[in-house]
Amino acid sequence: MFQKILIANRGEIALRVQRACRELGIATVAVHSTADAEAMHVRLADESVCIGPPAARGSYLNSHAILSAASITGADAIHPGYGFLSENADFAEMVEAHGLTFIGPSPAHIRMMGDKIAAKEAMAALGVPLVPGSTGAVPDLAAAAEVAERIGYPVLIKAAAGGGGRGMKVARDADGLEEAFRVARAEARAGFGNDAVYVEKYLDRPRHIELQVLADAHGNVVHLGERDCSLQRRHQKLLEEAGSPVLTPVMRDQLGGTVTSALRRLGYRNAGTLEFLFQDGQFAFIEMNTRLQVEHPVTEMVCGIDLVREQIRIADGAPLGYAQTDILFSGHAIECRINAEDPESFAPSPGLVTAFHAPGGLGVRVDSALYAGYQVPPYYDSLIAKLVVHAPTRAGAIARLRRALDEFAIVGVSTTIPLHRRIVDDPAFQAGEYTIHWLERFVSDADRTG
Ligand code: ADP
Each residue's pLDDT tens digit, 215-249: 999 999 999 999 999 999 989 999 999 999 999 99
Q: Is 232 in the pocket of ligand 1 (CB under 6 A)?
A: yes
Mean pLDDT of the chain: 96
Q: Is 164 in the pocket of ligand 1 (CB under 6 A)?
A: yes
Domain architecture of the chain: domains with CATH: 4-103 (3.40.50.20), 132-201 (3.30.1490.20), 207-449 (3.30.470.20)
pTM for this predicted structure? 0.96
| Cα 106 → chain centroid | 19
Whether pLDDT at 11 is above 70: yes
Each residue's pLDDT tens digit, 410-444: 999 999 999 999 999 999 999 999 999 999 999 98
* Nearest CA among 396, 316, 311 for reference residue 361: 396
Each residue's pLDDT tens digit, 175-189: 999 999 999 999 999
Q: What is the pLDDT of residue 165?
A: 78
Instruction: Write down the catalytic residue from 10, 291, 365, 400.
Output: 291
Active site residue 269: no
272 Cα–ligand 1 center, Å: 17
Q: What is the pLDDT of residue 447?
A: 64
The mean-pLDDT minimum among 92-101, 158-167, 175-184 falls in 158-167
Q: Is 405 in the pocket of ligand 1 (CB under 6 A)?
A: no
Q: What is the pLDDT of residue 449?
A: 56
Q: Whose CA is nearest to atom 13 of ligand 1?
A: 235
Q: Is 392 in the pocket of ligand 1 (CB under 6 A)?
A: no
The pLDDT-based confidence of 164 (bands split at 50, 70, 90) is confident
The pLDDT-based confidence of 450 (bands split at 50, 70, 90) is very low
Q: Is 167 in the pocket of ligand 1 (CB under 6 A)?
A: no
**233, 286, 288, 295: residue to mutate for ligand 1 pocket, most atoms within 8 A of CB:** 286
